Amino acid sequence: MSLPLEGIKVLDLSRLLPGGFCTLLLADMGAEVVKVEDPKGGDYIRWMPPFINKESAYFLALNRNKKSIKLNLRSKMGKEVFLKLSREYDVILEGFRPGVVNKLGISYEEIKRVNPKIIYCSLSGFGQDGPYRERVGHDINYIGIGGILSITGEKGGPPVIPGVQIADIGGGMLAAIAILASLVSKERGEYIDVSMLDGVISWLVLVAGKYFADGKIPQRGEMQLSGELLGYNVYPTKDGKSISLGALEPKFWQNFCQSIKREDLIDKQFAEGEEKEKILKELKTLFQSKTQDEWGEFFKDKEVCSEPVNDLPSVFSHPQVKQRQMLFEIDHPTEGPIKQIGLPIKFSSAIKHGQDQKAGQSPGVKEVRKNPPPGFGEHTEEILKSIGYSQEEIEKIEREES
């Protein structure tokens, strides 16, 4: 198996989800990722419930294919080791509040003195400048100040917190994209400033585009793609589940209307006001007449852009999800087999070709890296030896770091 980032070495100083998701992507794509963890506790997510036996389920989900080293960056010895490590690595990711790495003496300016080609990415809530640069925050705050909470929810209802941490995950993805872009020209080195708030605002591209055009403040449940359109909505079904309808283009709306024998609605796709509310009530009644599975079978071959609203067991048993290998298992030395979400990017170089592939299948089995998440400081000795420290020196470092 060959992956595109093989040979790239990353030092990960981040904690929790944003940086962890970034380096998960990099590690899955072949990079050697080393988590640099404080000896007094390491990555906070290690200790967050729920636990699988003794390991955090969240830590296990985010940290496969990574290594871990214990290093006290506040100590003189820890800083010395980190600077020596930095000479041998291509990328550093940090997620501290702005100014912390300067106090520690491991800022980009310090690191580039020993490694001018280093790619150094700072991932923070509000960015490295501006009046909010040192403000504390979490995902809910970034999507709050960035406007996404204000437009998420039902008409007339309160803002609704999304089911996943979109600012955190999106920030991690943006950091990964920026690192990959910098690797293309890594001979010159780079400092990268990624703000999760900036990411949130960038996702308003369509919503803001409309606002800039008509000056109308978007309202929850009243935007085209979040409740305004009859053909782009979620409808409850007879069994208490729901169906998503995405009949956005006229041809799909026409197919939908014809399939339910309501050709009279074909020219009502963009109905407004009382007319829309009347039709919406009729459609809700219609969808309540069948179960989710019955609607799935009914629309199966009709090209109306309709799919079930799945819970997680249904997601992971879905044939498309299985075919794309978006769920797999890793053998953990203490926790046994642990389920993992797959890499959402497929590389031809990581496909093991076989024979007699069925129509519609990928050309082979997608191979993935399956190294279990690291124990706390598991690779400290290995990594220190790799940069020239003797066993005696390592023992001295560990004594001073404890």
Distance in angstroms (rounded) separating the CA atoms of residues 229 and 253? 11
Model pLDDT for residues 313-354, shown as the tens digit of each residue? 999 999 999 999 999 999 999 999 999 999 999 988 776 654
Structure confidence at residue 358 as a pLDDT band (50, 70, 90): low
What integer is the mean pLDDT of 16-37? 98
Distance in angstroms (rounded) separating the CA atoms of residues 387 and 393? 12
pLDDT over 60 (residue 359):
no
pLDDT at 365: 56
Fold of 9-203+371-401: Rossmann fold (3.40.50)
Q: 281 near 238, Cβ under 8 Å? A: no
What integer is the mean pLDDT of 380-389? 96
pLDDT at 362: 52
As a whole-number percent, the residues of the chain with pLDDT over 70 amount to 95
Mean pLDDT, the chain, integer: 94
Distance in angstroms (rounded) separating the CA atoms of residues 340 and 327? 6
Model pLDDT for residues 307-318, shown as the tens digit of each residue? 999 999 999 999
Q: 226 near 220, Cβ under 8 Å? A: yes
Indicate the domain borders of the chain: 9-203+371-401, 224-236+242-308
CATH homologous superfamily of 224-236+242-308 equals: formyl-coa transferase, domain 3 (3.30.1540.10)
Distance in angstroms (rounded) separating the CA atoms of residues 30 and 53? 29
pTM: 0.93
Model pLDDT for residues 138-148, shown as the tens digit of each residue? 999 999 999 99
Structure confidence at residue 237 as a pLDDT band (50, 70, 90): very high
Model pLDDT for residues 103-129, shown as the tens digit of each residue? 999 999 999 999 999 999 999 999 999
Model pLDDT for residues 245-293, shown as the tens digit of each residue? 999 999 999 999 999 999 999 999 999 999 999 999 999 999 999 999 9
By annotation, the residues acting in catalysis are 168
pLDDT at 356: 45
SS3 324: coil
